[in-house]
A and B are shown apart, each in its own frame.
Chain A
């Protein structure tokens, strides 16, 4: 068989032909904009003009002004808390859905879990504001039950932001962990049982490690989506503190300072890339 018969090279050509549209789209509408933004981050906005000389002043300002740097730290803190809480809450649910719910009800259970997220994200966030506000649902419930004597507010702080985030990411993580759990062959657990392991040990040493890829994929998605989200902290956080996306939007909306906003965006991307590298070995796509 010659290294590349005419049929093979036409197949090759066709393969590139199939691949090209997706490559071009990603290149033109994803990569190019990022490169342009990187360029902008090296320029500066002075007054109302764009000064296109290379300068690192935006990055310098970011590290020099403590209130800007703090927004990055806040974002990382909040995202880590959200990821941890969501994984801890989602895993048992995913496990129960995969192991204890009868097969024919599983799809329904999943759909029920996703359904609430078909309402608008913005409206849902405001609904959380109503639930958590002083004089809102939770506050009234606690009053009625006699647990508190006065209306209490749970909104307009970091806790409310975390609740809003966890609400969405618990669903996401339940799905990814569930998808992983159902693919596991029961023979692993049977083998562990045969070898004398109780259910707890079997879970800890067999099931949990095997589902780690599912957890890591979900956790990574959670991290990326959470750290870049503007709406939830803006609506529920009450501006008690600023997270990085809010700082970025401030640059755009109030000052149209795209260079500074781009620099902040580059910092955000750098952080996410670092996290990606840390999780890379779990994030490969395995083919069935």
Chain B
């Protein structure tokens, strides 16, 4: 009996060892062959349809790391060594403080299509410092209201205050991102987002509590869009084209609109790290993303859709895609939209506390 058991142990041991060794060898073979570019990105950059053309054209490999929020991204960067990262996708709101921290390399403005970008999206006050360009806006969209038009009255959706009434109690999902949501609350209260100060927070907290009582859930991208899809919620406050465009092909009842009080404009930008050892390749990547084809692919990326910053991308988008993005209404929307309010560190901490209390309510 012992010898047979021994035989089995030995056989299995050998098999196991061979499997592990084989797997290990195959890994070391593939690594380290081609030139690599390391990018810290949002999920819409991981779509193979976007990345593969660039990789093939230049014979390189793009390593992508997604992050949850700018705080997490900055933590990742803080904890890395210089040269670990080449390209950075940053929320428009956060560009100034990243520039302040001295993390970004100067971008050659003459080699990038800055003038092709929608005027209000260029945001040179955010992307430039002392006359030098550090980031370029690549995509934008709105945090407004997404809804199922077969279940709600679309006219009501044009007025933010209807979400605080009893008519839609228990039908609302709230997008879990404190800055645009608190900006929307400010708009509802008749303020502009930039008017938010610490003494207005208690009043905003009351409004938020009332909204929470009207809502069925608070969630990030997946759960909130799922709620719309399953019918758990009929309205998503903080949603926009990014929440519904992907699903519209199969559920044409999903729609989005900018309310009369105005909308909140989100934007994301692309930048190159100062310590990157591959600045030329990184610049080529930025140029690819900013090209009309790259912009069109980014705009319709599988994670979430959004408006391409480059106007010329319109030529590369189909009519159905432009309709989903409400391409023709953009000028009107942009005129009525406000950027994210950028609080200083202290106010930011207080706003986060209010938001945490909101979640706990």
- For A156, the closest partner residue in chain B by CB is B217
Q: Are A156 and B232 in contact (CB under 8 A)?
A: yes
Q: Are B217 and A255 in contact (CB under 8 A)?
A: no
Interface membership of A239, Cβ < 8 A: yes
1/0 contact string of B74-108 vs chain A (CB within 8 Å): 11001000000000000000000100010000000
Chain B: minimal CB distance from A120 (Å): 14
Q: Are B69 and A254 in contact (CB under 8 A)?
A: yes
Q: Are B230 and A133 in contact (CB under 8 A)?
A: yes
Q: Please tell me which one of the listed residues A47, A48, A239 contacts residue B359 in the complex, with CB atoms under 8 A apart.
A: A239
- For B174, the closest partner residue in chain A by CB is A239
Interface membership of A153, Cβ < 8 A: yes
Interface membership of A100, Cβ < 8 A: no
- Distance in angstroms between the alpha carbons of A136 and B232 in the assembled complex: 9
Interface membership of A130, Cβ < 8 A: yes
Q: Are B227 and A252 in contact (CB under 8 A)?
A: no
1/0 contact string of B205-230 vs chain A (CB within 8 Å): 00000000000111100110011001
- Distance in angstroms between the alpha carbons of A76 and B281 in the assembled complex: 52
Interface positions, chain A 130-180, Cβ under 8 Å from B, are: 130, 133-136, 151, 153, 155-156
Which chain A residues lie closer than 8 Å to B349 at the CB level?
255
Q: Are B230 and A239 in contact (CB under 8 A)?
A: no
Q: Are B72 and A252 in contact (CB under 8 A)?
A: yes
Which chain B residues lie closer than 8 Å to A156 at the CB level?
216-217, 219, 223, 227, 232
Interface membership of A97, Cβ < 8 A: no
Interface membership of A54, Cβ < 8 A: no
Which chain A residues lie closer than 8 Å to B217 at the CB level?
155-156, 238-240
Q: Are A135 and B230 in contact (CB under 8 A)?
A: yes
Chain A: minimal CB distance from B180 (Å): 14
Q: Are A250 and B230 in contact (CB under 8 A)?
A: no
Q: Are A239 and B218 in contact (CB under 8 A)?
A: yes
1/0 contact string of B227-242 vs chain A (CB within 8 Å): 1001110000000000
Interface membership of A281, Cβ < 8 A: no
Chain A: minimal CB distance from B100 (Å): 9
Interface positions, chain B 343-361, Cβ under 8 Å from A, are: 345, 349, 352-353, 356-357, 359-360
- For A70, the closest partner residue in chain B by CB is B360
Which chain B residues lie closer than 8 Å to A70 at the CB level?
360
Q: Are A256 and B78 in contact (CB under 8 A)?
A: yes
Interface membership of A68, Cβ < 8 A: yes
Q: Please tell me which one of the listed residues A48, A68, A238 contacts residue B345 in the complex, with CB atoms under 8 A apart.
A: A48
Q: Are B72 and A256 in contact (CB under 8 A)?
A: yes
Q: Please tell me which one of the listed residues A133, A135, A247, A253 contacts residue B68 in the complex, with CB atoms under 8 A apart.
A: A253
Interface membership of A207, Cβ < 8 A: no
Q: Are A238 and B74 in contact (CB under 8 A)?
A: no
With A48-B74, A239-B218, A256-B72: A67-B223 Cβ-Cβ less than 8 Å: no
Chain A: minimal CB distance from B248 (Å): 18
Interface membership of B176, Cβ < 8 A: yes
Q: Are B356 and A68 in contact (CB under 8 A)?
A: yes
Q: Are A254 and B231 in contact (CB under 8 A)?
A: no
Chain B: minimal CB distance from A95 (Å): 33
Q: Are A155 and B232 in contact (CB under 8 A)?
A: yes
Q: Are A47 and B230 in contact (CB under 8 A)?
A: no
- Distance in angstroms between the alpha carbons of A241 and B360 in the assembled complex: 4
Q: Are B230 and A136 in contact (CB under 8 A)?
A: yes
Beyond the given pairs A133-B226, A156-B232, 6 more chain A to chain B contacts, judged by CB atoms under 8 angstroms and listed by A's residue number, are A48-B97, A67-B359, A156-B217, A238-B217, A254-B71, A255-B352
